Amino acid sequence: MSQANQYKGFAGWLEKRLPIISPADHFFNHYPTPRNLNYFWNFGAIAGLLMGLMILTGLILAMQYTPSTLHAFDSVERIMRDVNYGWLLRYLHMNGASFFFIAVYIHIFRGVYYGSYKGEREVLWILGIVILVLMMAIAFMGYSLVWGNMSFWGVTVITNLFSAIPVVGDTLVTWLWGGFSVDNPTLNRFFVLHFALPFVLLAVVGLHVLALHQVGSNNPLGIDMKGPQDTMSFHPYFTMEKLFFIGLFFTIYFLVVFFAPNMLGEAINYEPANPLSTPEHIVPEWYFLPFYAILRSIPDKLGGVIAMGGAIVALGLLPWLDRSPIRSARFRPVFQIMVFVFVIACIILGFVGAQVPADAFQIYGVQVFGSLSVLRTGQIFTAIYFGFFVLLPFVPLFERPRKMPRSIAEAIDGHA
């Protein structure tokens, strides 16, 4: 039985036959949106848009790409030179991955800073972590498809990590490769998975947004909405605000695509894969660097793999590790400092991951920690990264929270 249909004209006609108008109406006009959301609340929408763009450009690229070790590299070059607007499609897709990670990393930071994983948002958060892992797998396999020399050696190094698993390690790596080295079967399966997994990602993002709408949005104050005085209609207020911010973000993205498309890439990947020539310095894409630094900080292969996996597992455990009843870092002086230190540690780990372990650590040519080596810097900041999670459960024992407003309306209007 269909419910009472309140829509007129075509919307009413369609709703009667296919109930898609009411969810959209709920989303844009009736979803209680906190009045005080700031620009950080735009990154979910930006990530969603980028995901759509990645799928679209990826589909068109796949129509011209050849997943074979003999032709992959040349087919990418053909896309760049001979296919109409192929260069644009490729640069949008290639840099889109970077900007997707930028958006999602900021989205995660927002979640941590404002305690958005609390208050029945555990499933929402875990789905976010599943999304992150999927994104990493998709990006890793996508990079291999170019079949440049960095692609080839990146795949070789990272897939080899599985050999550290006791007993089954070597068998597992052979199974992953589909042979005894990274070769045609490896490239083929990576192409299939790189094509298929984004649709799984799409489904998980759908669940993520469903979970959000089930519990409602958090806000910069981290206090629950108490009634209509605390909320605003999503449309037109937030649609306009989002359009502005999305425009800004995409302007930066397009500036990179058109004027510095290889800024975030590696020159070696413009050389075809060569199993006989190992690049002097194998580095993953920038968005993997902090995790790569954690991996290399532990002087044992299995230990490194466990630490790298643990870095993501720890993020997933946040809703249970953080025991404070207060969500937003604005009112938590100790937690606030901890989050900033954590973010700085992640950024420094990013620099560490890009440098040779035995060298002195540098940021843009400056030895910020004297002659401290890259390896030692990585170990110190890996300890800080995990220290954040270890310390977290104990913070409420000694933290004295700042005074909080009673409601969102009180914080904005000055009275309840």
Residues that bind ligand HEM (CB under 6 A): 41, 43-45, 47-48, 51, 104, 107-108, 111, 114, 116-117, 121, 124-125, 128-129, 131-132, 205, 208-209, 212, 217-218
Q: Cβ of residue 247: shortest distance to ligand HEM, in angstroms?
A: 16
Residue 145: partners with Cβ closer than 8 Å, 6 or more residues away: 65, 67, 72, 76, 151, 187, 190, 191, 194
Query: Pick from 155, 41, 127, 99: which is nearest to 287 by CA?
Result: 99
Q: Cβ of residue 209: shortest distance to ligand HEM, in angstroms?
A: 6
Q: How far is CA 31 from CA 24, 48, 55, 141, 239, in A?
A: 10, 18, 28, 37, 13
Residue 365: partners with Cβ closer than 8 Å, 6 or more residues away: none
Q: Cβ of residue 389: shortest distance to ligand HEM, in angstroms?
A: 14
Count CA atoms closer than 13 A to 406's CA, side-chain side.
6
Query: Pick from 61, 77, 98, 57: which is nearest to 284 by CA?
Result: 98
Residue 56 or 129 with smaller CB distance to ligand HEM: 129
What angle, rounded to 10 degrees, do the helices at 43-62 and 239-259 form? 50
Residue 102 or 338 with smaller CB distance to ligand HEM: 102
Report whether 157 contacts 181 (CB < 8 A): no
Query: Pick from 133, 124, 116: which is nearest to 287 by CA?
Result: 133
Q: Cβ of residue 296: shortest distance to ligand HEM, in angstroms?
A: 24
Residue 159: partners with Cβ closer than 8 Å, 6 or more residues away: 173, 176, 177, 182, 186
- How far apart, in whole angstroms, are the C-alpha atoms of residue 244 and residue 206? 24
Residue 79 or 132 with smaller CB distance to ligand HEM: 132
- How far apart, in whole angstroms, are the C-alpha atoms of residue 279 and residue 148? 11
Amino acid letter, residue 129: I
- How far apart, in whole angstroms, are the C-alpha atoms of residue 375 and residue 178? 34
Tokens of 65: 């790409």
